[in-house]
Structure 1
Amino acid sequence: MSELRVRAATPADLDAVLAFWKVAAEGTSISDDTDGVARLLARDPESLVLAEEEDELVGTVIAGFDGWRCHLYRLAVHPGHRRRGVGGALLAAAEARFTALGGRRGDAMVLDRNELAHHAWRAAGYAPEPQWSRWVKHLDA
């Protein structure tokens, strides 16, 4: 395995990230488009974290901080690079970012049906909180 490089995304990465999510992410979101990701980077330029090997995108995580809570979205690792520490490296970078910003708790959005991801999240020290349920409203609907 070549050296893994973790860095913040730039606007030049948007097309590659969107194409990557179609291959590596389990499902898509209403905001998975160029405008949505561009807004994310404009508001918080270091929130989208990328993992690369030999200039190939192999993983992503969105590490959003609203000043109060730390939120993790879009942890995705290319199927050909899973179980090699990419997800762990992305989560470590996200957690370091949160700590530097004063964050104290990370909340992760993980699909119930994505059982492959549950192992990775548990290995990283995350656990589901059954007392909470997620309520969603699509604002553009």
Structure 2
Amino acid sequence: MKIRSYRAQDEEAVIALWKQCDLLRPWNDPVRDIERKMGEQPELFLIGELDGTVMATAMAGFDGHRAWVYYLAVAPSHRQRSYGRALMERIEERLRERGCPKVNLLVRSSNRQVLDFYHRLGYRQDDVVCLGRRLIPD
């Protein structure tokens, strides 16, 4: 897998991948999410590509205190080959270069397979409750 930065011509393939991986929700417009990311730290939006085809993504953001990872996706036909691990390693590397001390991410509590994946990478559940409030409806 070749890991590279997101390019505008990837949009359709990225959104199709996110749909295939069941990452999209009605309250999050993926086009707007991509537009917003491209306006802030676009170098933290990575694409995994095989034979010219987008088959994995990872998006991160760092606010100077903590980083968050979003939209880690690997096409179902390419799972169990360490592509997700490779993307997370690259994201973590880029965050370390910025002096980022901690990475957070959100996983739906019902998604046991993904929770197990992150546990294998050394991620642990923090003793916190995640709260949110939408400021701009999509």
Q: Same fold (TM over 0.5)?
A: yes
The yes-or-no answer on 1:123 pairing with 2:93 is no
Q: 1:70 aligns with which of 53, 67, 72?
A: 67
Letter in 1 for 2:65: W
Quick one: distance in 2 between partners of 1:45 and 1:112? Answer: 28
Q: 1:113 corresponds to which residue?
A: 110
Q: Is the 8 A contact 2:10 2:54 kept in 1?
A: no
SS at match of 1:30: coil
The yes-or-no answer on 1:83 pairing with 2:80 is yes
The more displaced of 7-16 and 106-115 is: 7-16
Q: Aligned pair count?
A: 137
Where structure 1 has 5 or more consecutive residues not aligned to the other structure, the ranges are: none
RMSD: 1.5
Where structure 2 has 5 or more consecutive residues not aligned to the other structure, the ranges are: none
Structure 1 outlier segments of 4+, above 2 Å: 25-33
Q: 2:48 corresponds to which residue?
A: 51
Q: 2:132 aligns with which of 98, 118, 136?
A: 136
SS at match of 1:139: coil
Letter in 1 for 2:132: V
Q: Is the 8 A contact 1:31 1:37 kept in 2?
A: no
Percent identical: 28
* TM-score for both structures, normalised by structure 1: 0.89
